[in-house]
Structure 1
């Protein structure tokens, strides 16, 4: 990024919020009882931000982040994590008895975008910038040469985190860091999957874009007892800009975000992702290919859940496929969807580092008329748990044209379970394994040529107790092959029913097999719909191998 582009971007900010106060930035010390927002006051409200996003969209994109001072650009992850914000300089430190407070992340390592921060007085409708200075941080053993940071008036910050009851706990509940990524926790204080402000060309022939939140404005809470705060964000990227308002409720057992965003397209966009979510699924009950570890399961989320516009509830277990898979589920005005982590039993993970049993679910509640589109799911092969390999987002059906504005409102619920669930029976678990033999036995000399895949789908719910139609009938639809040996079994330990069936190939094809299952009794639907995608092995691998050595 050249100096002219940097200057153009800086002037665009200055036109709305004033130029940095060099006198304030050059202060060598900062007292704890002084407001850290040292910039000059400028008028601000959401309408101002929306106009700024519109004006910014009419200018060329300023380019990728500029280079950081060498001492920050070369930081290793351990060194970066050693840099800690000084809690006595947190944004609302001077509010006695406060329930919320904000601290900022240092730029460095891979976090190169210089994000500007502003404190907003909502009554006066005025914003003042918080400028970077080394005195705001404790560098501990990070090995940072702070002399390289002096006079860096435009260094900014990488992001921010929010603490609830900061006098009682040092654990944050909300974090915005990197591009437009953000996360929140429930009452376990354990982070899991992430959300994004926007996704662009995630699965197209075009290069995927990751637009950045380049500035945030924090409204000062009206009272110390507030557990709700409002933060505004400006998004900027090659193909779009955006104005965002987040009203964030830090409740006792969950975090709820009310989001109002207005996107301006700089250019035509082939695939615009609204409410993108990013998670990790390495292995679980249904997919154990990568579970050769001490852990029975490894995942941040175990399913995609959908409450479709027509009222249908859908459960789609996640996969870690051997090759990239993309699925689009068409809908009209969806009622809700999310990536869920519903198994919170430690015994099923045995993980004392990742604590996957504590990871929250994320549920999206659309507000207003979203119209037609599709809920898209991208599953990427992964060999472990360090990389997110699941992406989910809503894609509007209408084309995204340059110069147009697109507005969306929705709520995000970060909690152990979603705020709503199907009144019908729910999918409790999905399991797969070798089939083609009587349950309780194993393939042996009597079944030398038989190969099949067995599926066990467990359902729980009151609708299964006394079905009005008499019995419980599984309705199974598949896109290829054939289903045999279907059984309906009551399972007392979880007080529900297990649907067992074997899938047999009818060709050598290895195309994914789409499966659909729901329960009914007579004309009554008893359960949500289970969707699954199975990947048959090649013909030469469709056999059982006896690797015993008898001597």
Structure 2
């Protein structure tokens, strides 16, 4: 549970403020640029230089926690921190006329204690100049910051950055990197949702999770009319270092990131997570007992979707379990996976604060063969919507040993819909409730009732209607218990089919029950595979109670 404590503490990320032995890599003899936000000396830089930095850093001891911030920043409240705004007149590409993109920086403070170095790149000359912190880059408004404590603190660095699209027109940011190795992007709704990370370390092991940090960023200057930019990042943590290149396309309806990363292990790593993503699922159409709220649903993502190496499409609805759950879905050379938010109807959330209907999905598309491993999913219990309680990542099968180097390339798609979907019928929604009696009746009413749990899984699209006359058969498998009362219903409002069935326990076990289902017509598969994890109640709770009071 260290992860929940970490997030609850306003993302107080463990890191250090400098890279031992790296000072010579960041110094130069050129005169500081005049009239430019980048005021440092010029140094040679390209991706190969960054890769050498990461490899060299991995051979050195980890620097540990950051130096304390000035008191005026360390004690900021979230409200005060949010009132500190970067001065747009000092944005990184401010002097480029009619620019489509621009960069603004985040101030250190509150839980953001890491001092991140920022560099502007001259792409033609492969030269980098550091952007040093100075108070005049920010507007402090009513944050209550004593700026006298910040004068001369050029080593204070920054907490992260955000990218604005069409900055002089929309003043809307579409990409944000802030805290540890976390980053997010939006689609055309401009509504942030789930987060991605550079790497995950020991998310679910017998030791505390690590949160490596992006310690430096380098920005290539894009052409004025370009909506694509390149940023490089150096990652450092107790167990791993890394060199990253992000090529980020800010398209009209989505953001697409092409990521190339080279990781180096400082020490053995029990669990390494590639392309990790972090989301929130409080409640949805399934297991409504965990959602005592005015809102019908609350979640950043509603399912884990996987396109497996063998071509199988899988839908795994997310849960808010009563205790922490970790599942690993073995695969080889996956074609894609992601945490999706596919319900975009306002009425399904009735939320005017979080706007969950506008939040994007995140899809991972591996480039090249990733070999054997597993898509891992961790779900943490939560009683609200303020904590990210869902983590997903790819874990290579081969153990990571000290001195190992790993290369991974992939694309991330931030959009309302993933870039690819199964051509077969898709899962629209999953619902659960009381079972053991005919639909439309009450438990025990005219029928003897044995306790059961009912599932309703809705499928749409594909070839379902074309095969309706030939017969549609749900193929259902369960890890324990038995299935009964199977019904197949055509539902006109969503023009699809609802599969109803009841699960009956055959023991007093409360271990999670794994359910698996797909639709077929004879030997012809018609749908993606639905996976679900159900948590049976204790035996003394498996009964229906008539609590009506008649007087």
Q: TM-score range by the shorter chain?
A: over 0.9
Instruction: Note the C-alpha offset of 1:55.
Output: 0.5
Instruction: Note the C-alpha offset of 1:93.
Output: 0.3
Aligned residue in 2 for 1:126? 127
3-state SS of paired residue (2:376)? strand
3-state SS of paired residue (1:104)? strand
3-state SS of paired residue (1:262)? strand
- Range 519-528 or range 12-21, more displaced: 12-21
Q: State the alpha-carbon separation in 2 of the partners of residues 337 and 113 from structure 1.
A: 31
Aligned residue in 2 for 1:319? 319
Q: State the alpha-carbon separation in 2 of the partners of residues 262 and 285 from structure 1.
A: 40
Asked if the contact 2:20/2:63 (under 8 Å) is kept, the reply is no
1:280 and 2:280 are equivalent in the alignment: yes
Which 4+ stretches in 1 moved above 6 angstroms?
A: none
User: Which aligned pairs between 1:299-310 and structure 2 lie closer than 5 A?
Assistant: 299-310=299-310
Aligned residue in 1 for 2:410? 410
User: Which aligned pairs between 1:157-176 and structure 2 lie closer than 5 A?
Assistant: 157-176=158-177
Aligned residue in 2 for 1:46? 47
3-state SS of paired residue (2:155)? coil
3-state SS of paired residue (1:466)? helix
1:12 is matched with which residue: 11, 21, 38?
21
Asked if the contact 1:469/1:521 (under 8 Å) is kept, the reply is no
Aligned residue in 1 for 2:432? 432
TM-score (norm 2): 0.95
Instruction: Note the C-alpha offset of 1:19.
Output: 6.7
Please list every run of 5 or more consecutive structure 2 residues that lacks an aligned counterpart in the other structure. 1-14
How many correspondences in the alignment? 537
User: Which aligned pairs between 1:58-207 and structure 2 lie closer than 5 A?
Assistant: 58-207=59-208
1:35 and 2:44 are equivalent in the alignment: no
Aligned residue in 2 for 1:351? 351
Aligned residue in 2 for 1:331? 331
Q: State the alpha-carbon separation in 2 of the partners of residues 20 and 146 from structure 1.
A: 30
Asked if the contact 1:281/1:319 (under 8 Å) is kept, the reply is yes
Aligned residue in 1 for 2:422? 422
Q: State the alpha-carbon separation in 2 of the partners of residues 463 and 289 from structure 1.
A: 34
- Range 145-154 or range 335-344, more displaced: 145-154
Asked if the contact 1:199/1:209 (under 8 Å) is kept, the reply is yes
1:509 and 2:533 are equivalent in the alignment: no
Q: State the alpha-carbon separation in 2 of the partners of residues 480 and 369 from structure 1.
A: 35
Cα distance per residue 1:357-405 (max 9 Å; x no partner):
0000000000011000000000000010000000000000011011111
Cα distance per residue 1:315-347 (max 9 Å; x no partner):
000000000000000000000000000000000
Q: State the alpha-carbon separation in 2 of the partners of residues 321 and 19 from structure 1.
A: 54
Q: State the alpha-carbon separation in 2 of the partners of residues 416 and 449 from structure 1.
A: 43
Q: State the alpha-carbon separation in 2 of the partners of residues 19 and 137 from structure 1.
A: 26
TM-score (norm 1): 0.95
CA RMSD of aligned residues (A): 1.7
1:477 and 2:486 are equivalent in the alignment: no
Instruction: Note the C-alpha offset of 1:511.
Output: 0.5
3-state SS of paired residue (2:21)? helix
Asked if the contact 1:469/1:524 (under 8 Å) is kept, the reply is no
Q: State the alpha-carbon separation in 1 of the partners of residues 262 and 469 from structure 2.
A: 49
3-state SS of paired residue (2:154)? coil
Asked if the contact 2:32/2:42 (under 8 Å) is kept, the reply is no
Asked if the contact 1:344/1:357 (under 8 Å) is kept, the reply is yes
Please list every run of 5 or more consecutive structure 1 residues that lacks an aligned counterpart in the other structure. 26-32
Q: State the alpha-carbon separation in 2 of the partners of residues 95 and 445 from structure 1.
A: 74
Asked if the contact 2:28/2:43 (under 8 Å) is kept, the reply is no
3-state SS of paired residue (1:475)? strand
